[in-house]
Amino acid sequence: MRHTCRGTINLATANITVEDSCNFIISNGGAQTYHLKASSEVERQRWVTALELAKAKAVKMLEESDDSGDESVSQTDKTELQSTLRTLSSKVEDLSTCNDLIAKHGTALQRSLSELETLRLPAESTEKIKQVNERATLFRITSNAMINACRDFLMLAQTHSKKWQKSLQHERDQRIRLEETLEQLAKQHNHLERAFRGATVLPASAPGTGGSAKDPCCPAKGDLSDEDDDNEFFDAPEIITVPESMGHK
């Protein structure tokens, strides 16, 4: 419930328990507890049944609000789910037929008991017949509640079929992604293995491949260039002055 007032009961999380023939308790997580009393056992059972059905509907509405949407699924999954739902629907129809028969025979039984009550019987027998009549009414109410619960189960199965489809599709997508990842890793492993084998087979320098051995006595070109960089050279002057002492000798 979105808007709560004083005395409001959240049936989705409520716990309904029967105390005795006329009293029953509704509690909500320990915060709220209501002790209710009906006029008779039949009336109490009607209240309990109605509250249980309302609770089931509240839970269903709460779960439907959590549904985040649909996802595409394969036709095979849809066919399997539809077949399952058709089977459940058929079983619910069988239960409904049984319920109609129970209601029919229960009505006939109550009619017979009512006729017995009109007869002149001892007070003790009349009280016993009244109790049997109430028990028959409770049985009919319980059977109706069972059929309604089965219908609710079928509706929940139809509603949750979308979630089942989403879960199946999610599992399938994860499996496909895992297979693709493993395939990529296998390709990378094979590529690295081939590259490693090629690097170990080729020698560093092989004769007849265009390479020449270096003469240890002759510096290489790279060595000469290094020595040229270390030595400084200057241009010769155009006029050379000779000292006089050297000229008289």
Q: How far apart are CA 79 and CA 161, in angstroms?
A: 11
- Written as one letter, the residue type at 41 is E
Mean pLDDT for the stretch of residues 177-184: 87
Which residues neighbour 54 within 8 Å (Cβ) at sequence distance 6 or greater? 11
Amino acid at 172: R
Greater pLDDT, 194 or 235: 194
Helix, strand or coil for residue 215? Answer: coil
List, for residues 76-130, the tens digit of each pLDDT value: 666 777 777 778 777 777 777 777 777 777 777 778 777 777 777 777 777 777 7
Nearest to 110 by CA among 131, 137, 128, 142: 137
pLDDT at 203 over 60: no
Q: Per DSSP, which regions of the chain are E strands?
A: 15-18, 23-28, 32-37
Ramachandran area for residue 215 (φ above 0: left; ψ -120 to 50: alpha; else beta):
beta
How are strands ordered across the β-sheet holding 32-37? 15-18, 23-28, 32-37
In the predicted model, what is the mean pLDDT of residues 53-62? 80
For the record, the structure tokens of 239 come out as 């006029």
Radius of gyration of the CA atoms of the chain, in A: 48
Mean pLDDT of the chain: 72
Determine whether domain 7-58 maps to CATH 2.30.29.30.
yes
Residue 35 CB-density burial (10 A; 0-12 exposed, 13-18 middle, 19+ buried)? exposed
- What is the mean pLDDT of the segment spanning 220-232? 49
- The pair of structure tokens assigned to 175 is 């499996």
- What pLDDT does residue 222 have? 46
Q: Distance between CA atoms of 113 and 136, rounded to whole angstroms? A: 10
Indicate the residue type of 12.
Answer: A
**What is the structure's pLDDT at 136?**
80
pTM of the complete model beyond 0.75 = no
Give the pairing of strands 23-28 and 15-18: antiparallel
Query: Has residue 190 got a pLDDT over 80?
Result: yes
- The CA-based angle 15-18-19, given to 5 degrees, is 120
Structure tokens at 159: 């509603």
Residue-wise pLDDT tens digits, 133-176: 788 888 878 878 887 887 787 777 777 767 777 777 778 888 88
- Site of tokens 């007849």: 208
**Where are the chain's structural domains?**
7-58, 79-198
